Amino acid sequence: MIPAPFDYVRASSVDNALELLAGHDEDAKLLAGGHSLLPMMKVRLVMPSTLIDIGGLDELRGVTVDGDDLVIGGATPHAVVAASELVRSDAPLLAHSAGQVGDPQVRHRGTIGGSLAHADPAADLPMAVVALGATLELRGPDGARRVSADDFFTGYFETALQPGELLTAVRVPRRPGVTWGYQKFTRRANDWAVVGVAAIAGRVAMANMGAAPIRARAAEQALADGADAAAAAALAAEGTEPGSDMHADAEFRQHLARVLTRRALNGEVG
């Protein structure tokens, strides 16, 4: 498994990364941790002409407070997110989800921005930021803009990122002390979720129940109308069209969505 030939250049700043993107063809790719991109390159599902390395940019790393939000740099490794006292205190659902990604090696190299830009519908972090109502900060040739997590994921491995844009940060509402739940059904440790559910403050997000992380809208509405966790969870799969594969068929995934949503709404973490 050998990647197709490519050029490599290391960006010295975010501005320099954007200049490099603009100066190369549309097949150029950004490289942060590489744990999503490089495996796809090895089997030639992706064949970038140029890799632009942003993994060493300190301006894209770290966790800070900005009013009611935590701001997490796009190149912040999963392990840093999981261990951050700020994240563990003010957005523990995100800290937990970052700690579920892969194994220690992946968590120390992979980045939150890379995972979100990769947009695997079975991944932990896309589901988590949708549940949290996060906002993603993007920069490109036309300047900076913000996109809600609800609108960022548009399909299988597809996002609202435009050509030449870079995901610079994730803004997560601070909710210390708010009850949350996180459930993921896997065949083995470190596997992708067959189905995942994250719930907090009346929002319920699900992984691997469609082409992107999705909200369990019927369950959320039931909660808003005063239903208890069991009654709301019974509606979690309503309107969903999950796929079938060697791990589970659509019917079983819908069953899992109902079971895991009930547990998540009851504040269970697993």
> Which stretches of 43-103 are DSSP H helices?
78-83, 85-90, 92-99
pLDDT at residue 12 greater than cutoff 90: yes
In this predicted model, what pLDDT tens digit does every residue of 64-120 receive, in sequence order? 999 999 999 999 999 999 999 999 999 999 999 999 998 888 899 999 999 999 999
pLDDT-based confidence at residue 15 (cuts at 50, 70, 90): very high
**pLDDT of 179-199, one tens digit each?**
999 999 998 877 889 999 999
The residue assigned the tokens 């036309």 is 142
Total-model pTM: 0.95
Alpha helices, H only, the chain: 14-23, 37-42, 78-83, 85-90, 92-99, 104-109, 112-118, 124-132, 149-152, 217-224, 229-233, 250-265
- For the chain, the distance separating the N- and C-terminal CA atoms, rounded to the nearest angstrom, is 35
Domains and CATH numbers, the chain: 7-53 (3.30.43.10), 58-173 (3.30.465.10), 180-265 (3.30.390.50)
How many angstroms separate the CA atoms of 268 and 261, rounded? Answer: 10
Paired tokens of 111: 């980045």
Q: Are 144 and 65 in contact (CB under 8 A)?
A: no
DSSP string, 129-174: HHHHT-EEEEEETTEEEEEEHHHHEEETTEESPPTT-EEEEEEEE-
CA dist., res. 37 & res. 159, Å (int): 15
